[in-house]
Structure 1
Amino acid sequence: MEEVQDLNTKPLTKKQYLVVSSMLFGLFFGAGNLIFPIHLGQLAGGHWGMATLGFLVTAVVLPLLSVLAISVTHSKGVYDVGRPLGPAFALAFMILIHATIGPLFGTPRTATIPFSVGVQPLLPESLTQVGLFVFSAVFFGAAFLVSYKESNIMNSVGKLLNPVFLVLLFSVFAFGFVSPMGVASKQVVTAEYQDASFFNGFLQGYNTMDALAGLAFGVTVVTAVRQLGKTSAKSNAKVTARAGVLATAMIGVIYVGLIWLGATTLGEFKLSVDGGVAFNQMVSHYLGSFGHALLATLLTVTCLTTAVGLVAAFAQDFHKHFPKVSYRQWLAFMCLASFLTANFGLEQILAWSTPMLMFLYPFAMVLILLSVFSPLFNRDPRVYAPVVLLTAVPALLDMVAAFPPVVSASAFGKALASFQQSYLPFASLGMDWVVPALVGLVVGLGLHFLKPSLARTTSPVVGTDRVN
């Protein structure tokens, strides 16, 4: 098939690359990306450096690889990433990803975190539920309006909201670095981080949901780059990859600063229940009562940028696969469902999101890596199948172990945990999927290279245009 030509044959300017990178940064970086690194710094204390390395793998490198996976395979969304395993698996994977980062957990969190951390402390306890209702209604109303026209997404996120967020964030950084609350390397290390700080930091990176979001944002990024005239698969992929490197590098620098700041807060405050409390304490320490207003604004702006990306990606992907419902109708459904879930409160959302993340992240990691290296085996389904199949068992066990005690502490949950710890290597580190996935990879590559001719005839083609 003849390759689609670029409408804009000229190289993009530095300003255009910055706009795309800024959009990606804004889509990735939400309130969770603020509070989880700070809390990790408090948990790791003096071992904050090694914990940071683990966190950066799943919170920076993996999201970058998810963007590159979209680029390398010329995919147009999360569905295409799972397509080598067939349309049924691809559709199920897409729905699970969007449900997790969408109306069930991720998107409602974009409203509940800024409310509970920035707004709730200013309200009397009797008005908490009413305040959450009003705040979340206004919040998702704004997200709906910004996302209403797909062509507005890059302008609204990349050019307007994101620069405001960066100014507010670095004003907080300035106070933290000029007058630190303590010496990070001398702070108390919690028990879990005494000997396994890297792996615990690695698992904490799941909470950002950015690897899942990177797959889901693929359609939004591709659409935005096409608006700049880069309509061929090859040039679109190149722009997306370059912008992704810049955006995730910026996020990585911020993470290092936030984790360090979190560790220094132990010089003034006790270990908090979550990073939101720690961030609130930090801002109040440096800025006093004005800090609350700044915090509320900071969290609301950054969460709105992420919410816009999530609701738009959901609506675009679902409209593509279920076209009888329009983009705007899917958008309205997403915003309404997220609004309803948000009113259950942040505590409930976080409690039930962890099991789903422990289940989905191993699948996402193996599919991302397989996609990035897929040119080596022509996206042969026989390579994908054993890897994903053998990843499923430990992923299910990790999900059950992460459920609240009503499930994980039941007789059924304890029996599965005993089996997991006894027979799966690295289960205590939350990495029990690694060995089965590697075994599946060896089997899959063996099948591919033993019968290369069959691999060439069975490999599916993703997308409508190919690179000759």
Structure 2
Amino acid sequence: MRDLQDLNPNPLSKKDYFIVSSMLFGLFFGAGNLIFPIHLGQLAGSHWVLATVGFLVTAVLLPLLSVLAVSVTRSEGVYDIGKPLGPVFALAFMVLIHATIGPLFGTPRTATVPFTVGIQPMIPASWAHVGLLLFSAVFFGLAFLISFRESNIMTSVGKVLNPVFLLLLFSVFLLAFLNPMGHAAGQATTAAYKHASFFNGFLQGYNTMDALAGLAFGVTVVTAVRQLGKTKPSSNAKVTAKAGLFATSAIGFIYVVLIWIGATTLSTYRPSVDGGVAFNQLVTYYLGGFGHALLATLITVTCLTTAVGLVAAFAQDFHKHFSKVSYRTWLGFMCCASFVTANFGLDQIILWSTPMLMFLYPFAMVLILLSVFSPLFHRDPVVYGFVVGFTTVPALLDMVSAFPPVVSQSAFGQALTAFQHSVLPFANLGMDWVVPAAAGAVLGLGLHFLKPVFGRARQTTSEHD
């Protein structure tokens, strides 16, 4: 079937590309993108360069590949990425991704991070619970209003909120460059980063959730590019891929600076409990009391842009597959559910999100790679089946090992962890899914390319008979 023709046959202008790239940047860059890199810098110390390389693989390269996966397969969301494995798997994968980056973990975090590190230090401790309740209510109320009309998403995120965030962020960078706290290369390194800094940085990149978000934002990005007149699937894919490259490159630059700054803070502060505390220390050091107000504004703006993208992507995808419920009803449900979860607090959200990320990320990585290279094997379900099937057991074992002590340190949890480390290579690095996935790829691709040989052999046999 021939592609539809573009409503706008002319090449997009630099301004159009900037708007789409800015929207993608704003959708990706949220709560975790600020707090986890700076914390990584504090943990890695003098080994910050190698840890940065590992972090960039999962926090920049993988999200870029997720955007390319949407482009290459001409998908419009998470469901289409998993479709070669059948509608049941595709729907289950979509629900799990949206639940993780949506109302269970990712979206509530966009409200709890700005409150915890920006607002809470400025109010009495006794007001913390009420303050979070009021802040999260206003926050998700704004996210709902901005996302209420789908056509407003690109305008609100790409043209308004995102430039404000960048202006505030680079003012902090300038101060850090002009008067660094110390030399990153001379700082102490925590034990975990002395011998496995790359792999620990790689795993820290999971916390950004951007690879999962890239798959979920597919429908939002495709819709926005269509509004620019690129309705032909191939044209839409090219614009999406090019804008994704610009956006993720900018994010990568910011990560490098944040990790470096995190390492320099060790001259003045001890490694913090989390990146939120580290960022708070950084801004307070340079700006004093005014820094708290700047921090609150900066993180609230960037987290609101991400929240808008997450709630819109959730509502668009669920309306598409459960069409009896309207987009705006799904949007309201998402905002209300995220508001409820946010009030459990940032610590609990991070604690329980880690196991789900350890389970989902291996699946996301193999599906992204399969999608990017799918033209080579025509999206053959056999290849997908072997790779995903062989990834399942390691992903489940990683999830159990990452649960809080009540599960991971139980007799059942310890037995599974012992089995995992004795049987699967690289389990101590959190990379035990790599060898099984590679084995599945070899078997699946082998069967795919041998099909014609078997077909010709059967044909020859039948002709002789």
TM-score, normalised with respect to structure 2: 0.97
Whether 1:328 aligns to 2:328 is yes
Equivalences for residues 262-411 of structure 1 within 5 A? 262-411=262-411
Paired residues for 1:415-430 under 5 Å: 415-430=415-430
Provide Cα deviations, 1:26-47, integer angstroms capped at 9, x if missing partner: 0000021000000000000000
Aligned length in residues: 455
Residue equivalent to 1:224? 224
Identity within the alignment, %: 77
The alignment status of 1:86 with 2:86, answered yes or no, reads: yes
After TM superposition, what 4+ stretches of structure 1 lie above 2 angstroms from structure 2? 452-455
How far apart are the structure 1 equivalents of 2:215 and 2:335?
A: 20
Q: Which residue does 1:145 correspond to in 2?
A: 145
1:451 aligned counterpart, secondary structure: helix
Q: Which residue of 2 aligns with 1:464?
A: none
Residue 256 (1) aligns with residue 256 (2): yes
| Aligned residue number for residue 462 of structure 2 | none
Q: 1:174-193 counterparts in 2 under 5 A?
A: 174-193=174-193
Residue 31 (structure 2) pairs with residue 31 (structure 1): yes
1:153-192 superposed matches below 5 A: 153-192=153-192
Q: Per-residue displacement from partner, 1:314-362 (whole Å, max 9, x unpaired)? A: 0000000000000000000000000000000000000000000000000
How far apart, in 2, do the equivalents of 1:209 and 1:399 lie?
15
- Asked if residue 204 in structure 1 is aligned to residue 204 in structure 2, the reply is yes
CA offsets, 1:260-280, max 9 Å, x none? Answer: 000000011111000110100
Q: What is the CA RMSD across the aligned residues, in angstroms?
A: 0.9
**Would the alpha carbon gap of residues 454 and 355 (structure 1) be closer, same or farther in structure 2, given more than 3 Å must change?**
farther
Between the aligned partners of 1:202 and 1:423, the Cα distance in structure 2 is 22
Q: Which runs of 5+ in 1 are unaligned?
A: 456-468
Q: Name the CA shift for 1:428/1:87 in 2 (closer, same or farther; >3 Å).
A: same
Task: Structure 2: give runs of 5+ residues left out of the alignment.
Answer: 456-465
Q: Deviations over 1:149-198 (max 9, x none)?
A: 00000000000000000000000000001100010000000000000000
- One-letter amino acid of the structure 1 residue matched with residue 36 of structure 2: F
**What are the equivalent positions in structure 2 for 1:60-79 lying under 5 Å apart?**
60-79=60-79
Distance 1:390 1:138 in 2: 45
Aligned residue type for 2:116: S
Q: 2: distance between equivalents of 1:454 and 1:15?
A: 53
Match of 1:458 in 2: none
Residue type matched to 1:205 in 2? G
2:446 & 2:393 partners in 1: Cα distance? 22
DSSP-derived class of the 1:150 partner = coil
* Residue type of the alignment partner of 1:170: F
In the alignment, the residues of structure 1 paired with residue 131 and residue 89 of structure 2 have an alpha-carbon distance, to the nearest angstrom, of 41
1:123 deviation in Å? 1.0
Deviation at 1:452, TM superposition (A): 3.9
Deviations 1:245-294 (A, max 9, x none): 00000000000000000000001111100011010000000001000000
Query: Aligned partners of 1:453, 1:103: CA distance in 2, in Å?
Result: 49
| Separation in 1, partners of 2:50, 2:169 | 24
Q: Secondary structure at the match of 2:432?
A: coil
Shift of 1:453: 8.8
Q: 2-side partners of 1:36 and 1:177: how far apart?
A: 20
- Which residue type is aligned with residue 284 of structure 1? T
CA deviation string 1:352-403 (max 9, x = no partner): 0000000000000000000000000000000000100010000000000000
Measure the CA separation in 2 of the matches of 1:187 and 1:452: 59
Distance 2:351 2:59 in 1: 20
Distance 2:288 2:347 in 1: 26
